[in-house]
Amino acid sequence: MSMRSMMRTKIKNVVKACDAGNTDAAISAYKEAVPVIDSMINKGIVDKNKAARHKSRLNKRVKALAV
């Protein structure tokens, strides 16, 4: 699997868990997604601002579930 595809899959996993309302799954999926997104920056596949935007939006969704 390509690295970009893996990143997108991890992001989708967080979104699916959030949409399902499963807080525990969303938190664990988020914790899996963040290191993958960060490694994409180091490899030069994604810009740091794009990565920060993804992480911020995912974190916002996960926190909205916890409330």
pLDDT tens per residue across span 12-44: 999 999 999 999 999 999 999 999 999 999 999
CB atoms within 10 A of CB 11: 19
Helix (H) or strand (E) holding 43: helix 23-43
Is the Cα torsion angle 18, 28, 64, 61 positive or negative in sign? Answer: negative
Helix (H/G/I), strand (E/B), else coil: 3: helix
Q: What pLDDT sits at residue 36?
A: 96
Residue environment code for 44-61, b if the CB has 16+ CB neighbours within 10 A, otherwise e: eebeeeebeebbeebeeb
pTM over 0.85: yes
More confident residue, 66 or 56: 56
Domain 3-66, second-level architecture = Up-down Bundle (1.20)
Question: Considering the chain, what percentage of its residues have pLDDT values greater than 90?
Answer: 96
Tell which residue, 59, 6, 63, 65, has the closest CA to residue 31. 59
